[in-house]
């Protein structure tokens, strides 16, 4: 397996892994776990199949070459020694840096915002996004407001007034900043607080979900850049201490659903949403379903992440006392499995970011120490942690991670 887990090499006599495999021999293959492709390695440079068995494959750390042993005599010219030989196959790959680059944004207590870029676990760039912050403006989310594929930023003043930045230059600068606008005028203070980001109407631009911290009522804004094109009510009030903790598609209909957690009992409820542009309210809460109750006491749900190359969503929980991590994987809203990812830890870590990883079914997690200027990078594969390292030991302690993603 390559260093990042993307490329896996193996030997197989199967004839249906690729087309036109009819030599009847054991062949060497390389599987790309991001692009879900399989390539046969034990062939000549012109694609001729090996005329004998191959075995003992190994792939380089960067996945650009593979070595193997073969008894075939037709992989290279002049192979007449009648003994198995060692061969190396190189691949002319043009990697997509987006497969490996992660952005982490931080905010200081005085409101300034900076970013770091990571190539895997290696920090290779960083700078301020905004130096002139004030403690009254807090970073609330990273929606793609204009549909260009770059996470933008939405902020909210302590009085409720929202504003936003359109991020440019590959995610490294603020291209434009503005108040959030409604009917041509700045949207002023509101008791509602921004709690989730999701594309509610399928137009390729993220929208905003807000909740009143007192009544727990829920509203939404459909967004186009800085403009609220429509606002509506999802709930005028909720009995009990229920907070929205995530917005993602759980039932496969392409429309985000909401996950709420009771902060007293830690039970989880799913709201199934529907979008109907012919309806005056457009986005509606059509069903409330209890996903799991009385199972999460002592655990707080931190993130819900749709997984690359998978049909599932990972719900990630952190223990309120120990900082242990658990994932629950749902398919169409139904539990498939649950996994204790990290256990036996101290309470010094906060899970601050989670994104789908660089290969099928994996997760990339970012944790920040509560006591040190440290950021921890964790790579998981299905049901186990396959890599972790200190991504950055130079984050000043008052700075808090506010976004981690691609």
pLDDT at site 96: 44
pLDDT at site 288: 66
pLDDT at site 95: 45
pLDDT at site 152: 97
The 3-state DSSP class for residue 276 equals: coil
Classify each residue of 15-29 as buried b or exposed e, where b means 16 or more C-beta atoms within 10 Å of its C-beta.
Answer: eeeeeebebebbbbb
pLDDT at site 246: 95
- Integer Cα distance of 118 and 305 in angstroms: 20
> What is the DSSP-derived secondary structure letter of residue 324?
-
Q: How many other CB atoms sit within 10 Å of the CB of residue 320? A: 13
Q: Which of 62, 71, 57, 72 is nearest to 32 (CA)?
A: 62
Which residue pairs from 87-91 have beta carbons closer than 8 angstroms and sit at least 24 positions apart in sequence?
87/42, 89/41, 89/42, 89/65, 90/64, 90/65, 91/30, 91/39, 91/63, 91/64, 91/65, 91/66
Under 8 Å between Cβ of 208 and 220: yes
DSSP alpha helix (H) spans, 26-138 = none
pLDDT at site 165: 97
- Integer Cα distance of 205 and 75 in angstroms: 51
pLDDT at site 59: 93
pLDDT at site 290: 62
Averages of pLDDT over each 10 residues, the chain, 406 residues:
79 94 96 78 94 95 88 95 94 51 87 84 79 90 95 96 94 94 92 96 94 93 96 87 92 88 90 77 66 75 86 90 90 82 81 81 84 76 67 70 85
pLDDT at site 94: 46
pLDDT at site 23: 96
**Distance (Å) of CA 236 to CA 169, 215, 239, 256, 383:** 40, 8, 10, 20, 39
- Integer Cα distance of 99 and 209 in angstroms: 29
Residue 387, classified by CB atoms within 10 Å of its CB into exposed (0-12), middle (13-18) or buried (19+), is middle
Under 8 Å between Cβ of 207 and 143: yes
Q: How many other CB atoms sit within 10 Å of the CB of residue 207? A: 25
């Amino acid at each position: 397996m390559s260093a990042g887990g993307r490329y896996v090499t193996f030997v197989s006599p199967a004839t249906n892994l690729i087309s036109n495999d009819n030599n009847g021999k054991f062949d060497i293959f390389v599987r790309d776990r991001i692009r879900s492709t399989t390539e046969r390695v034990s062939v000549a440079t012109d694609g001729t199949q090996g005329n004998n068995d191959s075995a003992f494959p190994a792939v380089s750390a960067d996945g650009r070459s593979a070595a193997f042993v073969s008894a075939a005599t037709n992989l290279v010219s002049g192979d007449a020694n009648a003994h198995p030989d060692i061969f190396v196959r190189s691949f002319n790959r043009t990697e997509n840096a987006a497969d490996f680059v992660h952005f982490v944004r931080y905010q200081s207590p005085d409101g300034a915002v900076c970013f770091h870029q990571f190539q895997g676990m290696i920090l290779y760039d960083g700078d301020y996004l905004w130096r002139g912050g004030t403690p009254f403006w807090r970073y609330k989310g990273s929606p793609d407001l204009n549909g260009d594929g770059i996470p933008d930023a939405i902020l909210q003043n302590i009085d409720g007034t929202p504003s936003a930045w359109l991020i440019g230059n590959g995610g490294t600068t603020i291209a434009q900043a503005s108040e959030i606008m409604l009917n041509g005028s700045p949207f002023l203070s509101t008791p509602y607080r921004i709690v989730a980001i999701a594309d509610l109407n399928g137009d390729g631009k993220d929208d905003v979900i807000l909740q009143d911290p007192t009544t727990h009522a829920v509203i939404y804004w459909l967004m186009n850049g800085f403009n609220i094109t429509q606002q509506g009510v999802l709930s005028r009030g909720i009995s009990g201490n229920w907070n929205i903790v995530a917005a993602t598609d759980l039932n496969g209909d392409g429309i985000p659903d909401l996950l709420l957690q009771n902060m007293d009992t830690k039970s989880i409820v799913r709201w199934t949403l529907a979008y109907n542009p012919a309806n005056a309210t457009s986005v509606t809460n059509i069903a409330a379903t209890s996903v799991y109750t009385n199972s999460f006491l002592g655990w707080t749900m931190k993130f819900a992440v749709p997984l690359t190359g998978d049909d599932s969503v990972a719900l990630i929980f952190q223990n309120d006392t120990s900082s242990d991590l658990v994932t629950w994987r749902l398919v169409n809203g139904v539990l498939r499995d649950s996994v204790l990812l990290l256990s036996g830890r101290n309470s010094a870590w906060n899970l601050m970011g989670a994104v789908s990883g660089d290969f099928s079914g994996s997760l990339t997690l970012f944790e920040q120490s509560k006591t040190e200027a440290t950021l921890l990078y964790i790579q998981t594969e299905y049901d186990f942690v396959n890599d972790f390292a200190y991504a950055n030991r130079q984050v000043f302690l008052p700075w808090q991670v506010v976004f981690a993603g691609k």
